[in-house]
Amino acid sequence: MRGIALGGACLLLLLSVLFGQNISYQPDPGWRVPPEAAARANPLASKPKTAAGGKKLFLRNCVECHGEDGSGLVKKHAADLQLPIVQSEPDGALFWKITNGNPDRGMPSFSRLPELQRWQLVLYLRSLRPAPPQ
């Protein structure tokens, strides 16, 4: 009986690691955005339709760690992009973080993407919201 319980607990732990969302995400205090970078406005803010391209970029570049809904995979220690602590950041700060990455915490730099594509990603990130409770 004890063995079954232990096995069940291990299976649950494994499943939570494999498929769990990172609701316990804590931002890296050392990953600071310079104020002038945070103050930059999104040049695509008046073109909300370009967020559709941002979604495509998100699915290609980000879901591996952040999940399709952006809630962040525990096993990747990835940020839950739905959390208010992320959504309250200005567009310029999100753009800077996408551009620079945080390689010591596993977040790569996406400066290889053209600048407007990174702004498209920021635009799409704004649409990520927690699913309403069933």
Partner 1 sequence: MRSGLVIACLLVAALGGLPAWTQEAPYFVTYDHHLEEPGNLEIATSSTLGVPRSGQKSYFAPYTELEYGVTGRWTSELYLEGQSTSGDSAVFTGWRWENRFRPLAREHRINPVIYLEYESINEASRIQKEVVGNAPDFAEPNSELRQAHAHELETKLILSSTVHDWNIAENFIVEKNLSQDEGLEFGYAVGVSRSLGTLASSANCRFCRENFAAGLEMYGGLGSTRGFGLHDTAHYLAPVIAWQISDNSSLHFSPAIGLTHGSNPVLLRFGYSYEIRGLGGKLARLFGGTP
Residues at the interface with partner 1 (CB under 8 A):
49-50, 52-57, 60-61, 63-64, 75, 99-109, 111-117, 120
Q: Give CA torsion, residues 87, 60, 32, 100, to 10 deg.
A: -150
Token reading at 118: 């990174």
Cβ closer to partner 1: 105 or 129? 105
Closest distance of CB 23 from partner 1, Å: 20
Closest distance of CB 123 from partner 1, Å: 11
- Nearest alpha-carbon partner for 126 in 96, 92, 82, 93: 82
Cβ closer to partner 1: 27 or 101? 101
Assign 107 to helix, strand or coil: strand
Taking the C-alpha atoms of residue 105 and residue 121, their distance in angstroms, rounded to an integer, is 20
Taking the C-alpha atoms of residue 79 and residue 8, their distance in angstroms, rounded to an integer, is 28
Cβ closer to partner 1: 39 or 68? 68
Cβ closer to partner 1: 84 or 103? 103
